[in-house]
Amino acid sequence: MLLLRPRDPGFVHPRASEITPRAVYEGRRDLLRLLAGGAAGAALASWAGREALAQGKLAPLKGAKSAVAGAQTMEKLTDVKDATTYNNFYEFGTDKSDPAKNAHTLKTRPWTVEVEGLVKKPGRYDIDELLKLAAQEERIYRLRCVEGWSMVIPWVGYSLSELIRRAEPLGSAKYVEFVTLADPKTMPYVGSRILDWPYTEGLRMDEAMHPLTLLAFGMYGEVLPNQNGAPVRLVVPWKYGFKSAKSIVKIRFVEKEPGTAWNKAAANEYGFYSNVNPDVDHPRWSQATERRIGEPGGLFAKRRKTLLFNGYEAQVGQLYAGMDLKKYY
């Protein structure tokens, strides 16, 4: 085994032929489980797999292939089990395995999303209405967590701009604030002092209107599992994952930069913009590289180089032209 490996030469886009179809990798995973070393291995593997099944079967939600530039990365998809059992959703616990265990209590029906603030047409949208507001698209995005790991996830949803256009923002609306559910009855950690609940996030209007900014309702061809932010969440692929607020109940148009949950908790660590940037370190670790979850080679796979704007510089770079990204981190 090669212990000393040279640094990753950069971002390698695999050929389409290298991307494993879901049925094949799931089958392979099952086979590995069987081979995992006798009865103990099988027992352990099924124990590890139990959370993903806790919510039963999810309803299918198909999306047409998206034509938005950057929305179809050719990289290998993250295993659906990893994407649904390794989550940060602090309302359901601080360990990344907690949301999959605890989020079954979340009630996603009835669900309404209020659109309010500086708009001509405020309104309350029922989730089923929202689902049909625009055509659902499948978008394969890289997800880079501020903690230094990344995934590739096929989301289902449509551009947030579809909703924003219908609300007709006033000229004074410069920012969009996202307020998420904070229900102490169904979310055991709401009320803990970790964050100032409800979890809120925000985007500048031009960021919110960018076609890549996705209002997501599903992933992997099914509706969102609770632990991934059901029934509706934001996905902003060029920003660290925590910017992509989960289980949204309010979208508010405001004039001033809104406070955001992590920025309020630790302003020196998490800025309002939080664009993925390998040159701006987190105070406690480097952001230069990332660990791709489920990378072949497992434990010994080398870390990848993190790309500016998570590799979406071509699409979103112009939003930040002339801005000092070290100051506006």
Partner 1 sequence: MRRLLLHPAAKPLVFAACLLPFAWLAYGAFADALGANPAEALVRATGDWTLRFICIVLAVTPLRTLTRMPQLARFRRMLGLFAYFYVVLHLLAYAWFDMGFEVEEIARDIGKRPFILVGFTAFVLLTPLAATSFNRAIKALGARRWQLLHRLVYLIAGLGLLHFFWMRAGKNDFGEVAVYAAIVAVLLGWRIWNAARSARLQRPRNGRLPLSG
Q: Cβ neighbours of residue 87 under 8 Å, at least 6 residues apart? A: 96, 99, 100, 227, 228
Considering beta carbons, is residue 66 or 244 the nearer one to partner 1? 244
Closest separation in Å from C-beta 303 to partner 1: 7
Closest separation in Å from C-beta 164 to partner 1: 31
Q: Which of residues 22-51 bind partner 1 (CB under 8 A)?
A: 32, 36-37, 41, 44-45, 48
Closest separation in Å from C-beta 300 to partner 1: 8
Following DSSP, what letter does each residue of 59-90 receive, concatenated? Answer: PB---EEP-STT-B--SPPPPHHHHHHS---G
Q: In the chain, where does DSSP find H-type helix?
A: 22-35, 38-48, 50-53, 80-85, 98-102, 127-131, 160-167, 205-209, 261-265, 313-316
* Longest CA pairwise span in the chain (Å): 65
**241 near partner 1, judged by CB under 8 A:** no
Which residues share a beta bridge with 158?
215
Residue with tokens 């406690």: 284
Closest separation in Å from C-beta 143 to partner 1: 12
Among candidate residues 197, 194, 158, the one with its CA nearest the CA of residue 180: 197
DSSP label of 134: S
Among 54, 293, 319, 325, binds partner 1 (CB under 8 A): 293
Considering beta carbons, is residue 186 or 289 the nearer one to partner 1? 289
Among 86, 89, 273, 320, binds partner 1 (CB under 8 A): 86
Closest separation in Å from C-beta 53 to partner 1: 16
Q: Which amino acid is at 264?
A: K
**267 near partner 1, judged by CB under 8 A:** no
**76 near partner 1, judged by CB under 8 A:** no
Which residues of this chain interact with partner 1, rule CB under 8 A? 3-5, 7, 32, 36-37, 41, 44-45, 48, 79, 81-82, 85-86, 94, 96-97, 149, 193-195, 265-266, 269-270, 281-286, 291, 293-294, 298-300, 302-303
